[in-house]
Structure 1
């Protein structure tokens, strides 16, 4: 059975009203059905790429995944000394330790009006572009989620906190992500056959 790890922050954790839920994991499992997969969610509330690096081995590498979906950035934009370059470096370290061929990167999305002071969409867009640059440099599959999210109103895809995702956001994200995951798993099976 192929193992997928979802690696990221509270958005990966499916945070709803401040608590982790299985919404993202469940929706991905449904999108990939009837394929049997071992799906592990390693989303941590409040995390960023620095924290992700600190737990990279215990939460990801030690579990020998076939595929890792890396989804950070929304918290990185508000970390005091974080730069775009450092964010990119952190992503690169993750790709090198996991193995770029096993990874899919997702760009950060948008935040709503009440979050613009600390997580402005202009800055999130810069982090999204940095994510895409890294994906292209390492020839990694990616979802340009920012470009999709920005087509929708915050009230349509975000919870009342203007930060965490409503179920609609996960549905839109998975329209892009699920086919990528499916293809990657199929390619791995063929290569290993």
Structure 2
């Protein structure tokens, strides 16, 4: 069976009430059950620095790796945008670009003081450019809070103004699922 690995931070861990959950893993598994098995190697709080240390934990037989890093890289405890670029590029080439989907950094609500929004925007552009250079699909998480979803903005974020509620997680799954299905079809796996 086709194997998909989620590789990121607390967003992919469905972080709720200071605990990791399997909301995203289970949600994608339910949506992709007839196509693939979904595994999650994400670590809450991780930057790409920690992600590099976890590369060998990803099953080398994974058919698709969905890389979601950059939010913590953009935080007050994060790293430079150039280091983010180098680390993300290393991840893409470790797995091979053909196997990768790149998910740009998530942006917290403006009430969150631990993030520099200019750095987040820079890192979103870096992720998008690396995806384009390597011919990888790119998922822009800004789509969750833009357009029609602006009406439900207060329903997307938990009280920490960073992590997602049930509504936000459903919007994340709605954004990821078609990109994953398209990539699986392109690889001849769906």
Q: TM-score, normalised by structure 1?
A: 0.88
- Give CA deviations for 1:81-128 in whole Å, capped at 9, x if unaligned: 61111101111100111011000011112212441x221333322211
Partner residue, 2:3 = 3
Paired residues of 1:68 and 1:104 also in contact (CA < 8 A): yes
Deviation of 1:189 (Å): 2.8
- Verify the 8 A CA contact 1:70 1:105 in the aligned structure 2: yes
| Alpha carbons 1:111, 1:154 under 8 Å: kept | no
Looking at structure 2, the residues matched to 122 and 149 of structure 1 have their Cα atoms a distance apart, in angstroms, of: 17
SS of match in other structure, 1:189:
coil
Shift of 1:150: 4.1
SS in 2 for 1:43: coil
SS at match of 2:132: helix
User: In 1, distance between residues paired with 2:118 and 2:32?
Assistant: 33
Structure 1 unmatched runs, 5+: none
Report whether the alignment pairs 1:54 with 2:53.
Answer: yes
Aligned residues: 187
Taking the aligned partners of 1:190 and 1:110, their CA distance within structure 2 comes to 32
* Preserved contact between residue 110 and residue 150 of structure 1 (Cα < 8 Å): no
Distance 1:157 1:39 in 2: 24
Query: Which position in structure 2 is the counterpart of 1:133?
Result: 129
Work out whether residues 7 and 41 of structure 1, in 8 Å CA contact, stay in contact via their aligned partners in 2: yes
Pairwise mapping of residues 1-193 of structure 1 onto structure 2 (< 5 A)? 1-33=1-33, 35-58=34-57, 60=58, 62-78=59-75, 80=77, 82-115=79-112, 117-151=113-147, 152=150, 154-189=153-188
CA contact 2:29–2:37 (8 Å) conserved in 1: no
Q: CA RMSD in A?
A: 2.0
Q: For residues 79 and 54 of structure 1, what CA distance do their matches in structure 2 show?
A: 21
Distance 1:146 1:133 in 2: 16
1:80 to 1:144, Cα distance in 2 relative to 1, 3 A: same
Conservation of the 8 A alpha-carbon contact between 2:55 and 2:91 = yes
